[in-house]
Amino acid sequence: MPTQPVPLAGRHGANAPNRAGRWSRKLPIVLLVLFLLCAIAWLLRWLALPAVVKWRWVEALLPLAAVATTLASLARRLPAQNVLLSAALIALIGGAVQTLGATTGIPFGAYIYTDNLGQQIFHTLPWPMPLLWVVVILNARGVARLVLRPWRKTRNYGFQVIGLAGVLAVVFDLALEPFASKVNHYWIWQTPETVLAWHTAPWANFLGWLVTSLLILVVVTPCLINKKPVRPAADYHPLVVWGMLNLIFAAGSAAHGLWSAVVFTVLANILVTVFAVRGARW
């Protein structure tokens, strides 16, 4: 009895899901490698290598690569629509608060953006700032989940993750401020000498970061909860992104002699890494 031939379209269609699955597994790796290459290029710039110093495109590519690898990693365990929605909400809220801060000084304190951070949206907000909030919030939450992994079955685990992620966002900003304001001159703080400040950033800035981070986390956490009952494997990706960005901040601060910022950044990240690895191995 002759067999009925299978149409070519049918054979190709059967292989399509396999190809899509392979690409979905490879894409996070490719984007992570791209991010690491951009980060290494940033680090090489502090060695004053003539060829690397001229790579101005690295400054624009790094935030894009950081966002891309963060979202791709998160999409491995969450639906893509949830990941994109959370990123959009973070960028919207973070960008709105930064715009408010740039125009009124609330809640961070008085500061002025310079042209070093790129084109400004509506002549007010540099385009990388909403992306920065996406990277900080999602990776802070990822690191917090690693640290608190042993307590993930407790009743208040969700609130603990939100609280620790908010604190980690402030730690990130403490490392960022000297690098952004004194090394690359992305913004200029107009802090009175009588106000307590960290490398010209007033104490109100860090309180503003904490409140803003907690607000964003409360809003986006429902989008980031994995509804699957299976215990997820420990994800070190947020810790890698977190560590590489802080390494860039420390290297830039060291190149400009900001040793208090270097010591804080290194010690804080060693402490965070130790607790994150300990929690992940639980």
Lowest mean pLDDT among 15-29, 59-73, 256-270: 15-29
Lowest mean pLDDT among 31-35, 45-49, 205-209: 45-49
Task: Say what the pLDDT of residue 60 is.
Answer: 82
Dig out the tokens for 17 from the structure.
């899901």
Q: State the average pLDDT over residues 196-205.
A: 96
Residues 6+ apart with CB under 8 A from 157: 148, 151
Tell me: pLDDT of 56 over 70. no
**Is there a contact between 191 and 202 (Cβ–Cβ < 8 Å)?**
yes
Query: How do residues 34-51 score in pLDDT, each as one tens digit?
Result: 999 999 888 887 766 555
Amino acid at 59: E
Q: Output the CA torsion sign for 71, 76, 80, 85.
A: negative
Task: Say what the pLDDT of residue 231 is.
Answer: 67
Element (H, E) at 100: helix 80-104
Output the pTM of the full model: 0.89
d(CA 184, CA 60): 13
